[in-house]
Structure 1
């Protein structure tokens, strides 16, 4: 909702001086920033709409980099896990955010500014007056126009700062072998890993020996040989014979890796984010929105389309893609597949004639019966019903889960914001914690390949293969291997 407040004087409230800041060496204040145009982005790092806004802000930051314009993130958390400063620091690093971020404790700043939805942009003029506030995606032109008008007005009145303030970034890139690995797929003794922030896909054997590196590491949407191809923070990967299908998330594309011919091809997507509603069409002619994971059955690729709150399907033979489940409304409502409400599906897995998926924003695990075409919730309760609780399935609580896999009797869930691997046993009507949240120590180092006691840190995926679980331990920048027979957790020794 847009608040037209240019016609009245609304003094922006000062930032609480005791609150923590991320990505700046010292706290900021409105007084310190007087003479600057201040653009506030109220966000929370789980939110797909917030993720869609970040590239727009990055583009505008570059445009106004030599002018008295300051961009500030106000992180007003939805989930418990997102309230922790160190977790926010990880999110800032993961999304390569260049501006400072205020940790909005208990949503105090959110309430002072009268915010009611993520993301919301608020703009403050050089005199400290709130002149713009609007929620939702797609505000680039309005933000740009507002900044330009303010700069012109205050240039005439000589109320602009003479020199833009210098704010030193404090978040540094990780030097680990992997950078925020997102998803895993295992087949024929080979592991495909989306090395998301290195913008590539890596294939190893079961010992961690690297067999293929797919992608130059540069951000882009480029097909071709492995050394020339470019991705942008890919997430989901899945094997089909000698091919790997990839959810190239921030390119808004579905890609195919051909290991026999050393070649990457774009199957779906234009490279631009698609609209909220779309009926689909022919592969490269269709714009899609934040594909987060992929699964294959026969000649169909199913896509967890986080940005549309839907599951999509791509037919390999016809080159056609379209929505398969979800009406685009964000909620947790069961029903026939196209009438059901989903909420940012972020992990997908097919077992027999059932599609299993995790809806991260409702912290739920759900299924689609391919015979009856019905969407049913297995665990989960609502958009703001989350936590950590084992026991009966109907009483269990998860927190923004991003990945899963299924065997004959069990569903293994990467319960991301609980930094745990949980197990759903439908036969025994139970949920239990397999790894995490039960007193594991944190005594070993991240760079120690023999480490077997380090806690998981926001794991984004889990896959079963030959009585072992392969886990994308995302914020630890490593792959973990849990032996279900011996209960030993180890780190996969990947050498590049």
Structure 2
């Protein structure tokens, strides 16, 4: 008979979120407990949050989910950054900050995400790593409830929690804006935390709010359409069409500015579990967390963060397919079919090459769109745990989870997200230099390195103007490239959904 393993107790002197006081397994006896070992940069960790929410709601009187945040990047160890991630991803279960990987080691965890199942008597009975295990977990929970009902060792009662979002509601005009796009017709902002798009003039006058502000997947007029945490955008000025990576809907959307309607052009609304290269009719093909877009002639190129690949959609025949990347999470250069990426989250182009912010390897990659179609690393460490904050040349450069990238005038502007800086990279030499930001996670206007940001994730250049989606500051920042002065844009009349009526 296999000996039963008692679950190691959780530390009481570490920071906890979404609860007034630390939780102990001793006090949770009589309940099924799932420990979710996660880190907030990880796309796989984000993918299982809807599964956990489903299980929490279905078994709210018998199941407690506890997130154990075991940070990968240095920036993710900061307490306030974890709090912001909890708000951004609407996490409603208690979260323990696993300082120094102590809980991770106690449970012999070796991968993000890992889910550890503890029975009502405090024993570890199962664990799974990776995503896509909702049905298995449901079966395990059902079996445990039945067994412990018979033994009289289950305690049915709902756990009362004090959520971070109750203490810090997202009522700012913008909430965690992920990307920004400057065009000839105005500024487009992915107001990701409010599940909508905002269109304004360059000085912040609101032209349109696209989306109801409620998460969902619904086509229709600007007022009734729904998005779910939209991110990157690209604009077709000739046809007045905006293309949107609707990330948590695993879909691509097209916004018709002339007729003021939104339609889904790719994706089924369900996440693809297939990481191997494939193709299909766009409306019938499941996608996996598209994070950013770039239009090149009649093709849309997609940074498909969830499957660690670059995809391509032909806008004439509506065929969508894998363009580069095997689906493995790594950094391998060479021919398109043998290359690998690691959560690509930003994409731009000079017309001959795509440039990718490859976030989990903290590197900038180049991908050919004309012959020879090869993948190369422009700068960065190329390793999953090779990150830092070092300016320099090529492989000597260290970035930290870069999410945004924009090509302009033979250079690449980089949102070095977890370093809270904006950097400039030469795609030809691989030279990388910090231009904006002092590295502090704060909001400060000023010139050059006297300014500060908090996890900037997107940027866009129009003429001598640089716009930055300063995500954790819930702000859009403007930079005059003539003098590098950073200012914060204001949007008079813009309100959070259900807070006030649009002006």
TM-score range, shorter chain: over 0.9
Contact 1:189 1:206 in 2 (8 A): no
The count of aligned residue pairs is 484
Counterpart CA distance in 1 for 2:431 and 2:304 is 29
Contact 1:418 1:437 in 2 (8 A): no
Give, in angstroms, the shift of residue 428 of structure 1. Answer: 6.2
Deviation string, structure 1 residues 12-43 (Cα, Å, up to 9, x no partner): 00112211111211111111212111111111
Deviation string, structure 1 residues 306-361 (Cα, Å, up to 9, x no partner): 11111101111101100011111111010111210111110000112111111111
Give, in angstroms, the shift of residue 491 of structure 1. Answer: 0.8
Counterpart CA distance in 2 for 1:94 and 1:439 is 20
Counterpart CA distance in 2 for 1:94 and 1:69 is 23
Counterpart CA distance in 2 for 1:13 and 1:26 is 19
Contact 1:293 1:305 in 2 (8 A): yes
Structure 2 residue 482 is matched with structure 1 residue 460: no
Structure 2 residue 171 is matched with structure 1 residue 175: yes
Contact 1:310 1:325 in 2 (8 A): yes
1:197 maps to 193
Structure 2 runs not aligned, ≥5 long:
495-503
Give, in angstroms, the shift of residue 156 of structure 1. Answer: 1.4
Give SS of 1:366's match: strand
Structure 2 residue 102 is matched with structure 1 residue 120: no
Q: After superposition, where does 1:121-200 map in structure 2 within 5 Å?
A: 121-171=115-165, 172-200=168-196
Q: After superposition, where does 1:333-348 map in structure 2 within 5 Å?
A: 333-348=332-347
Give, in angstroms, the shift of residue 455 of structure 1. Answer: 2.3
Q: After superposition, where does 1:15-94 map in structure 2 within 5 Å?
A: 15-65=10-60, 67-94=61-88
Contact 1:331 1:343 in 2 (8 A): yes
Give, in angstroms, the shift of residue 154 of structure 1. Answer: 1.2
Among 469, 477, 480, the residue aligned to 1:480: 477
1:208 maps to 204
Structure 2 residue 266 is matched with structure 1 residue 268: yes
2:417 maps to 416
Give, in angstroms, the shift of residue 279 of structure 1. Answer: 1.1
Contact 1:440 1:453 in 2 (8 A): no
Give SS of 2:44's match: helix
Give, in angstroms, the shift of residue 167 of structure 1. Answer: 2.1
Note closer, same or farther for the CA distance 1:34–1:309 as it changes in structure 2 (3 Å cut).
same
**Which ranges of 4 or more aligned residues in structure 1 deviate by more than 2 Å?**
161-165, 170-173, 275-278, 391-394, 425-430, 437-444, 452-455
Deviation string, structure 1 residues 82-109 (Cα, Å, up to 9, x no partner): 1111111111100000001000011110
Contact 2:183 2:235 in 1 (8 A): yes
Give, in angstroms, the shift of residue 161 of structure 1. Answer: 2.2
Counterpart CA distance in 1 for 2:350 and 2:323 is 17
Q: Normalised by the size of structure 1, how large is the TM-score?
A: 0.94
Counterpart CA distance in 2 for 1:215 and 1:376 is 38
Note closer, same or farther for the CA distance 1:429–1:341 as it changes in structure 2 (3 Å cut).
closer
Give, in angstroms, the shift of residue 441 of structure 1. Answer: 7.5
Instruction: Note the aligned Cα RMSD (angstroms).
Output: 1.8
Contact 1:453 1:489 in 2 (8 A): no
Counterpart CA distance in 2 for 1:8 and 1:53 is 30
Counterpart CA distance in 1 for 2:347 and 2:491 is 25
Give, in angstroms, the shift of residue 165 of structure 1. Answer: 3.0
Deviation string, structure 1 residues 35-74 (Cα, Å, up to 9, x no partner): 1111111111111111110000011111012x12111100
Deviation string, structure 1 residues 177-215 (Cα, Å, up to 9, x no partner): 011101111111511111111111111110111111111
1:3 maps to none
Note closer, same or farther for the CA distance 1:161–1:58 as it changes in structure 2 (3 Å cut).
same
2:388 maps to 387
Give SS of 1:90's match: helix
Give, in angstroms, the shift of residue 247 of structure 1. Answer: 0.2
Deviation string, structure 1 residues 395-422 (Cα, Å, up to 9, x no partner): 1100000010012332110011111101
Give, in angstroms, the shift of residue 392 of structure 1. Answer: 2.4
Counterpart CA distance in 1 for 2:56 and 2:246 is 25
1:246 maps to 244
Contact 1:366 1:375 in 2 (8 A): yes
Contact 1:184 1:191 in 2 (8 A): yes
Structure 2 residue 224 is matched with structure 1 residue 228: yes
1:300 maps to 299
Note closer, same or farther for the CA distance 1:322–1:69 as it changes in structure 2 (3 Å cut).
same
Give SS of 2:405's match: strand
1:376 maps to 376
2:325 maps to 326
* Range that drifts further, 473-482 or 12-21: 12-21
Contact 1:442 1:453 in 2 (8 A): no
Counterpart CA distance in 2 for 1:56 and 1:284 is 24
Give, in angstroms, the shift of residue 370 of structure 1. Answer: 1.8
Note closer, same or farther for the CA distance 1:348–1:427 as it changes in structure 2 (3 Å cut).
closer
Give SS of 1:123's match: strand
Counterpart CA distance in 1 for 2:258 and 2:137 is 47
Counterpart CA distance in 2 for 1:477 and 1:344 is 23
Counterpart CA distance in 2 for 1:244 and 1:443 is 31
Contact 1:184 1:238 in 2 (8 A): no
